[in-house]
Chain A
């Protein structure tokens, strides 16, 4: 474009280079987005093809069978499905309760306020160094909880085996002795079992729930908080009636993500769950999970067994996908009305 004034003008149309960069950038983003979609399709397709022989041979009986015996060619994964869902659901309940509580503690600045009040007693609340302490302590605690996510799962497994199991065994066996008629306490805890797996699993999903829930709680607009306080709501009423419902979308998202992680967690479960083909409500009985089954069986899998393992992998994949899709649907239904989109 020619300069109408003829003089020195700063405004000018984008150069050819700027336009090219813009187009290349857009194409690249498109490309990578499609690549990841194709990758998921490719993985599912490959597993399905590899599982096809077993699918034909075993049929749906595979899902309801309870024995796993490569020698006789009898394969059933019902105990594994049960173990996967049972441990994950229990871990999710514990993890959600603790995780959301921790997220509220972190997002509402309870700790910072406590530190501030302590400093105030000492008269140091506006000190150039100590004055920054409340927020620093708060940030430190947040990082500490997120650090739980950085611990490798095999370390969690070892810790569960040699710390958690000896720690909880006396209590478990006492519960079995006194309340053995309750199905959950129906057996004694001899070693690995459902409860140690659940405890470790819930600790493993805790940082996911806490971090994402905290982000959701922090992003609740300050004006809503002020509105609730301005109405004369107590802190608890504000959190329960206004902040949690407003952040519900993010919190449910966190829980779904954590559920996916719990369903697929392999190493810690393989070490802690007991690897026993058993369906029991007892928290102290050994059990098995799909991921642990795969991890334990792939090394010595014969050619024809690979198809069976792929079938089991397909089932695990289906469960996780199902949970994610159902979760997203519930989320969309629940939140669209509240946010004024309906």
Chain B
């Protein structure tokens, strides 16, 4: 199991915002070093002893059966779990050389640098244009919002389909289009890392193919972490794969290695469909 230890104490009291962008590149291209010792929801211990280093411009996939804690680990990385009452966390998540769980770090700031795409397409009840412009306005973007919206929609391979109806509601689109709209919304602010929580599981096969194609293209500019219960999807899109089972990391390796020569018995059983 690869495990890069970087027990650097957070030095910048201002939080993640002020550090320079090339900080992660210094340490073997690891952008996010996530180490969870114990994670509780209320009195339920959801995840333990899980460490996943995430490399820059790579796609890292989390796989495992339902309830294994893969989404929980993902939600740790942009502090979405903070919204769950009774959430407790022991461990660290280093991003840009700082622990995002340091008391001085504002979770809202973390989420502006680490974007997220959800399982269910969730466009806002506003126009397509305003959906994509949402993050730009939050970040008080001073340039041309229109250009950025077009850029994001183009990158999300949605521009051609919606360029004539930007003022229509985002909810008027089909499920697959809505999910690509959500991806456009997430990448419009150019976050460094993109978290994707089963982004294609609510979509039909053709829409799934389009979203997967899009994810592969986005790798050039983004570091992507994707949760999926679809092993074929993980093997198709990802560079590295982490297998979680019963709230614990079982194996983390290069995707082709993990799928062809799994080191652990449980991994082999899972990928060969013997359980889960």
> Measuring CB to CB, which residues of chain A are less than 8 angstroms from any residue of chain B?
112-113, 116, 125-126, 134, 221, 223-224, 226-234, 237, 241-242, 245-246, 337-342
Q: Which residues of B contact A237 (CB under 8 A)?
A: 138
- Which of B80, B108, B126 is in CB contact (< 8 Å) with A233? B108
- Interface pair B115/A230, CB less than 8 Å apart: yes
Does B116 have its Cβ within 8 Å of any Cβ on chain A?
Answer: yes
User: Which residue in A126, A223, A234, A339 is a CB contact (below 8 Å) of B86?
Assistant: A126
CA distance A221 to B121 in the complex (A): 12
Query: A242, B124: Cβ atoms under 8 Å?
Result: yes
Scan residues 166-189 of chain B and give those whose CB is less than 8 A from a CB of chain A. 168-173, 182, 185-186, 189
Q: Judging by beta carbons under 8 Å apart, are A125 and B86 in contact?
A: yes
Q: Are B124 and A232 in contact (CB under 8 A)?
A: no
Inter-subunit contact B85/A116 (CB<8 Å): yes
Question: Top 5 A-B pairs ranked by shortest CB distance?
Answer: A232-B112, A340-B171, A340-B172, A232-B111, A230-B116
**Which chain B residues lie closer than 8 Å to A337 at the CB level?**
169
A/B interface sample: 27 pairs, CB < 8 A: A116-B86, A126-B42, A134-B85, A221-B122, A226-B118, A227-B118, A229-B111, A230-B78, A230-B115, A231-B116, A231-B134, A232-B111, A232-B135, A232-B138, A232-B189, A233-B108, A245-B124, A245-B125, A338-B126, A338-B171, A339-B125, A339-B169, A340-B172, A341-B169, A341-B172, A342-B168, A342-B169
- Type the 1/0 row for B64-84, where 1 means its CB is closer than 8 Å to any CB of A: 000000000000001010010
CA distance A232 to B17 in the complex (A): 13
Would you call B209 an interface residue if the criterion is a C-beta within 8 Å of the partner chain's C-beta atoms? no
A245 and B130 CA atoms in complex are apart in Å by 13
Residues of A within 8 A of B171 (CB): 338-340
Distance in angstroms from A148 CB to nearest chain B CB is 28
User: Are A228 and B124 neighbours in the complex by a CB distance under 8 Å?
Assistant: yes
- Residues on B with beta carbons closer than 8 Å to the beta carbon of A241: 134
Bound form: Cα–Cα A237–B124 in Å: 13
Contact B108 A224 (CB under 8 A): no
**Contact size class for B?**
35 or more
CB nearest neighbor in A for B119: A223
Q: Is the CB of A230 within 8 A of B85?
A: no
CA distance A116 to B42 in the complex (A): 12
Is B11 engaged at the interface, CB distance under 8 Å to the other chain? no
| A224 in contact with B42 (CB, 8 Å) | no
* Chain A residue, CB-CB nearest to B139: A232
A226 to B197, CA, bound (A): 12
Pick the residue among A125, A226, A234 that contacts B122 (CB under 8 A).
A226
CA distance A241 to B131 in the complex (A): 11
A229 lies within 8 A of B134 (CB): no
B120, CB-defined interface residue at 8 Å: yes
CA distance A324 to B173 in the complex (A): 32
Q: Name the residue among B111, B112, B115 with the largest chain A CB count within 10 angstroms.
A: B111
Q: How far is the CB of B224 from chain A (nearest CB, A)?
A: 15
- Complex: chain A residue closest to B109, CB-CB: A232
Interface assignment of B2: CB less than 8 Å from any CB of chain A: no
Query: Is B172 in contact with A231, judged by CB distance below 8 angstroms?
Result: no
